[in-house]
Structure 1
Amino acid sequence: MKFDLHTHHFRCGHADGNIRDYVEAGIAAGLAVIGISDHTPYFGDPEEHPLPHIAMAKAEFANYVNEVLKLKEEYAGKIDVLLGIESDYFPAHAEVYRKILSQYPFDYIIGSVHSVKEVSIFNKRRWKGLNEQQRIADKEAYYALIRDSARSGMFQILGHIDAMKGNYPAFSDIPAAAAIDETLRVIADNKVAIEINTSGKTKLSGGWYPSDEILERALFFGVDVTFGSDAHTPKRVADEWEDVAKRLKEIGFTEWVYYKNKQRMPVPL
């Protein structure tokens, strides 16, 4: 059974196509389940639309939810359309996000860390001039935020947990094995899944998030895994799904999961 839980559309300001385009692409790709999971607005900012090329306007949020729910109804019997969202995790604003997101019938919420020390994880310039200890400190700060997001109880899935390598491939070589192991322990203890996200190919790092090494450790700690293409264009829906399934089996996983009504749905590999 094929599924893809991570897709975006035009409302976020940096993706192509409307939601129906992604649903139709899911059907064409043979998916049984497609999750729509665009970026939340910046609820912690007082402005209506502070970052129009990164996230949707606050006024669009209810429209987004209603559109997905209508398509869920329209496509019933053809493909299971799930209402998801990708939410940033900002500790200072977590309760604001929690309160707003709890008002809507999400099937699942993806929690993603996109910013560390108030700088985007994809900003290549953030690493310039840092010595080894400073690079280690930034990597450990990233994983500390991911641990906090797992403990928050807000999310069913954690997004792309080594995406800081996206525009800085050397990130993977910064020593932080203890921080990663502790993060995976916390994720397992809090019964949150991590996604295998195939959008790394659109960044300098190439490949998937997370690395095989992290997936091997995730299996050791008993972490659930799921699949998300992180498609920002309909043609990437379900991208490399079969390759991911094959690799997970080689690593030793026997199942992966998706979420419906925030309930864990296991799928044999």
Structure 2
Amino acid sequence: MEKFDLHTHHERCGHASGVIEDYIEAAIRAGMTAIGISDHSPYFAREEDRYQPGIAMAKSEFPNYVAEVLRLKDKYKDRIEVLLGVESDYFPESVEVYRAAYAPYPFDYLIGSVHQTRGISIFNRNRWKQLDRSEHTAEKKLYYKLITESANAGMFQVLGHIDAMKAYFPAFSDIRGAEADIDEALGAVAANDIALEINTSGSTKDVGGWYPSDAILERALHFGADVTFGSDAHIPDRVGDDWEQVRSRLKEIGFTRWVYFRQKQKVVVPL
């Protein structure tokens, strides 16, 4: 059985522990047949080489990151398939800068993640304290507008953690009025033949559980959107976290397959 995890980080990003090889070895121990290395993209549109060192690697370090993954891909080719990825920020005003930064490299896939709206991190607890309840729906609608744009950008194979705004604000899931915006995002995933990530790192945040919610996954199935798996591991021991449970839950919801990507082409794996 093919067993894969497309979302892992390592020490270059400044907030994960361990080197890339630690995550590959952890994947082998976890019985994975493919492991994706997908550390946070540098802030390519900033003048500074390393803007916010605790969040992302330096621009000057990016070629070294790619070279290390490619070296390890070859080293481990007889034990596990190592896939070259990146978790890319999606900033609508900088799409072409990021697209050009990725173009020279042989990525297997790119994960597009919306980590900020209006310049504020989606993981910032205080953003909600500063908003009147009447503004909550507008904030949620903006978030899904950006996610839809990222799906339509023609740059990403995977969309990362599409309801991660609930991480430190679990009430996010209960905000009404953005249902059509979520549906539009899911429709865009299907229309662009990309995949939605089931990300198990919610278990490390206040919200617990996974991203996205079962309700969103049920809508994703309705729209015919493909799904993939990512632990979003920031420590090696979390590689493949809850893989079997996610697989079982997807089957209960009604999915018959999930996918991963090799050279930006879908590899379909029956559930």
Q: How does 1:2-81 map to 2 (within 5 A)?
A: 2-81=3-82
Give me the identity figure in percent: 64
1:50-69 Cα offsets, whole Å, 9 max, x none, are: 11000001111000000000
Instruction: Tell me the amino acid that sits aligned with residue 239 of structure 2.
Output: V
1:122-152 Cα offsets, whole Å, 9 max, x none, are: 0000011422331100100000000000000
What is the aligned partner in structure 1 of residue 203 from structure 2? 201
Q: Tell me, in whole angstroms, the C-alpha distance in 1 between the residues paired with 2:250 and 2:208.
A: 18
What is the aligned partner in structure 2 of residue 244 from structure 1? 246
Secondary structure, in 3 states, of the residue corresponding to 1:99?
Answer: helix
1:1-24 Cα offsets, whole Å, 9 max, x none, are: 110000000000000000000000
1:58-100 Cα offsets, whole Å, 9 max, x none, are: 1110000000000000001100000000000001111000011
- 1:96 and 2:86 correspond: no
What is the aligned partner in structure 1 of residue 221 from structure 2? 219
What is the aligned partner in structure 1 of residue 269 from structure 2? 267
- Of stretches 221-230 and 181-190 in structure 1, the one that deviates more from structure 2 is 181-190
Q: Tell me, in whole angstroms, the C-alpha distance in 1 between the residues paired with 2:171 and 2:81.
A: 39
Runs of 4+ in structure 1 off by over 6 angstroms are: none
TM-score w.r.t. length of structure 1: 0.99
TM-score w.r.t. length of structure 2: 0.98
Gapped regions of structure 1 (runs ≥ 5): none
Instruction: Tell me the amino acid that sits aligned with residue 173 of structure 1.
Output: D
What is the RMSD computed on CA atoms of the aligned residues? 0.6
Q: Of 156, 164, 182, which aligns to 2:184? A: 182
Q: Of 219, 232, 255, which aligns to 1:230? A: 232
- What is the aligned residue count? 269
- Of stretches 130-139 and 97-106 in structure 1, the one that deviates more from structure 2 is 130-139
TM-superposed deviation, 1:186? 1.5
Q: Tell me, in whole angstroms, the C-alpha distance in 1 between the residues paired with 2:51 and 2:79.
A: 37
TM-superposed deviation, 1:181? 1.0
Gapped regions of structure 2 (runs ≥ 5): none
